[in-house]
Structure 1
Amino acid sequence: MKIKSFATGLTISTTVLLTLVLTLNIAFAEDKMTWDKTFPLSDKVIHEKVTYPNRYGITVSADMYKPKDFDKSKKYAALVIGTPYGGVKEQGAGIYAQTMAERGFVAIAFDESFNGESGGEPRHVSSPDIFAEDFSAGVDFLGTRPFVDRNKIGAIGICGSGGFALKAAQVDHRIKAIATASMYDMSRFFRNGWQDTMTAEQRDKVLDELGEQRWKDFENGTPMLPEGFPSVATDSIPEGLDPISSEFWEYYAMKRGHHPRSHGPFTATSNMAFMNFPLLNYIETISPRPILFIMGEKAHSRYFTEDAYKQAAEPKELVIVPGARHIDLYDRTDMIPFDKMEEFFSKALK
């Protein structure tokens, strides 16, 4: 049996037609299966999964986004984008990378070492040194792409990765401009407690406990990992959570931002490194490269950004997003000031 196509007037056998339909359906199904982000794929970008090593030999996994009208013969400005602390590239970092690609940049969102789809054992370790290195590894990768101008590479850090991006930039002069959003200084947080309320006695007690935990980890052959967010998205916030924990639960544990690879907490003894490794001790040396600090008006974390802004040297700029909480700068595309970021990086990387 043969069918005549009304569109072309060509005669097509049913076998060929069925094969074509089946092929298209399989391709569509595979595309749906491979797209595992918390946001939809834009029709204005080209997406590609990539991997590359950091200087410790750990394989970093990233999503690369390029403009839809990408021309491989041209040289593009590029951005390396880190995740919120405990998050993965399929969440907020991917939203930033995709949106900046829509605006003409080549952008990668990556999973930190030991987390997400990146390599490294044991899993869910957190390291201020290696997480800063992962930004520089992203610069290694981007700067060796034939379509990237290696003199036009910037970095964006969200939440905890804001501190890691700044740490990397303090010594990696290849990072020409930096933007942070809802920044957390994780070293300050772990060493000094929330809003710097930890006493010396409390710190000593924590360090004693972590020392004991190291012995337990050694004997067990694996580090203790605190319970994380549920593997399946929940519909409500548990009763009794404090306001900050409730906010993170809303994003990581509910449909809004839940992803099965985003565990949340890191191995307990990871905190020791942060308590011994300041992130922003040389922030003023980033100058004359510019820094754009972005924070929500109602963010519980805004004191980290305000203090980092004061410590940084010119050129620097502070943007306060009206009404925004900490997590709103993860995924609220109606609140994240992408116009400002496009303007900032276009000028800094021209």
Structure 2
Amino acid sequence: MKSVKVKAPYWEIAANLYFPENFDENQKYPAIISGHPIGSCKEQTSGNVYGEALAKAGFVVIAFDASFQGESGGEPSSTENPTLRVEDFRLVTDYLVTQNFVDENRIGVLGICGGGGYALNVAMTEKRIKAVGTIDAVNFGRLSREAFSGWNPLEKLELIAQQRTAEARGEAKRVDDLLPNSVSEAQAAGLTDIDVLEATDYYKSERGQKPNGVAKTLFSQSAVSIGWDAFHLAEVLLTQPLMLITGDKVGGFGSYRDSLEIYGRARSEKKELLVVEGWSHYDLYDKPEPVQKALAKLIPFYQENL
């Protein structure tokens, strides 16, 4: 693995490159861009699980931190801006096509959770991407309008407007934790949703915790996501081969629902949906059995389409 910097207009995007065994820089390899979940970082599931596994299967994989997050540049930090997140994928593609060891005609993308929604969205207008795989794809716009706004997006937009004005006048920034500090704290607060509890277990314990996987968001910068939709124009523009993977234990973040929706809406002639029975959204992040089931589909999918 090699850490690299990807040039962006005003800052750099931090990324990790994973190489196949017996890598030869004089050869050309198919490449996969791996996009992390909301609140995550490149050292978590997008890199240390799927990035490593796909590299062992013969692909060059680049797992990157979103702008404003992890080790990437951009201020204010902890901003989750879908428009810029989609642009990050284009910039990483720009980086790959300048590398002599990458076959520019064999670039694919893998997105996990919210990263899956972004991967699907960018593929609609970024045709250098030839194949799209997702794990637990979530349309972050839908989630922002629904559960993340308490099903009252108009009220949340008013609160965001007030907070943005306050920060423009010099008041302290409001940075929200997306999750409780522990599973026991979540349960004590009466939270029962499987996605909330399992996300807390992943991000707030030794299981998946990483210094840059902070699971926080800057409240004043979250208006854009409420007006955004990852699946807009999928019936017209999303044409690449798709491999959509989700668990059948349904939680509040909606990856099961969103995966089924985009499977039906995408214009792609070649598309497949795998529902991994008996496993949940966060099981697919790092649990060996469901991850292997996912990889058993992803690896031949990329081999065939890249």
TM-score (norm 2): 0.91
SS of equivalent residue, structure 1 residue 247: helix
Higher relative contact order (CA 8 A, sep 6+): 2
Stretches of 4+ moved more than 6 A in 1? none
SS in 2 for 1:117: coil
Q: In structure 2, how many angstroms separate the alpha carbons of the residues matched to 1:227 and 1:71?
A: 43
Counterpart check, 1:303 vs 2:257:
yes
**Which amino acid in 2 is paired with 1:242?**
T
Matched position secondary structure for 1:122: coil
Q: 1:327 aligns with which of 279, 282, 288?
A: 282
Match of 2:20 among 67, 70, 80: 67
2:216 matched residue in structure 1: 265
Q: Which runs of 5+ in 1 are unaligned?
A: 1-46
Check 1:320–1:196 CA distance in 2 against 1; reply closer, same or farther (3 A cut).
farther
What is aligned with 2:147? 194
Task: Measure how far apart 1:227 and its partner are.
Answer: 3.6
| Offset, 1:196 | 11
Counterpart Cα distance in 2 of 1:252 and 1:266: 14
In the alignment, residue 283 of structure 2 is paired with which amino acid? D
3-state SS of the aligned residue for 2:301? helix
- Matched with 2:227 is 276
- Taking the aligned partners of 1:321 and 1:124, their CA distance within structure 2 comes to 32
Partner residue of 1:79? 32
1:136 positional shift: 1.1
**2:114 alignment partner in structure 1:** 160
Give the superposed CA RMSD.
2.0
Residue 182 (structure 1) aligns with: 136
Give secondary structure in 2 for the equivalent of 1:85: coil
Aligned mates of 1:173, 1:222 — CA distance in 2: 42
Task: Please say if residues 122 and 222 of structure 1, whose CA atoms lie closer than 8 Å, have aligned partners that are also in contact.
Answer: no
C-alpha displacement at 1:334, in angstroms? Answer: 2.1
CA distance in 1 between counterparts of 2:150 and 2:211 reads 33
Structure 1 residues 234 and 208, CA gap change in structure 2 (3 angstroms):
closer
Task: Give the corresponding residue for 1:293.
Answer: 244
Count of residues in Structure 1 that have an aligned counterpart in Structure 2:
296
How far apart, in 2, do the equivalents of 1:222 and 1:79 lie? 39
The aligned residue for residue 340 of structure 1 is 297
Per the TM alignment, residue 287 of structure 1 is displaced from its structure 2 partner at its CA by: 4.5
Q: Decide which of 59, 62, 66 is 1:112's aligned counterpart.
A: 66
The answer to whether the 8 A contact 2:182-2:201 is kept is no
Q: Pick from 241, 262, 273 the counterpart of residue 318 of structure 1.
A: 273
Q: Which amino acid aligns with 1:86?
A: G
Deviations 1:219-260 (A, max 9, x none): 226532114668xx9685542333232121111001111112
Tell me the distance in 2 between the aligned counterparts of 1:169 and 1:283.
Answer: 10
Query: Contact 1:237/1:246 (CA < 8 Å) preserved in 2?
Result: no
Shift of 1:131: 0.4
Amino acid at match of 1:319: L
**Paired amino acid for 1:107:** V
Deviation at 1:292, TM superposition (A): 0.9
Aligned to 2:155: 205
Q: Distance in 1 between matches of 2:142 and 2:286?
A: 25
- 1:31-79 residue CA offsets vs partner (Å, 9 max, x unmatched): xxxxxxxxxxxxxxxx10011113x332100110001211112110000
Q: Write the distance in 1 (CA, Å) between the matches of 2:147 and 2:183.
A: 28
Asked if structure 2 preserves the Cα contact closer than 8 Å seen for 1:237 and 1:250, the reply is no
Structure 2 residue 80 is the aligned partner of structure 1 residue 126? yes
Paired letter, 1:322: E
Distance 2:43 2:235 in 1: 32
Q: Closer, same or farther in 2 for the Cα pair 1:196/1:219, shift >3 Å?
A: closer
* 1:10 counterpart residue number: none
CA distance in 1 between partners of 2:150 and 2:257 (Å)? 13
Asked if 1 retains the 8 angstrom alpha-carbon contact of 2:179 and 2:196, the reply is no
- Alignment-mate amino acid for residue 247 of structure 1: E
Q: Distance in 2 between matches of 1:311 and 1:135?
A: 22
SS in 2 for 1:68: coil
Give the secondary-structure state (helix, strand or coil) at the position aligned to 1:330.
helix
Structure with larger Rg: 1
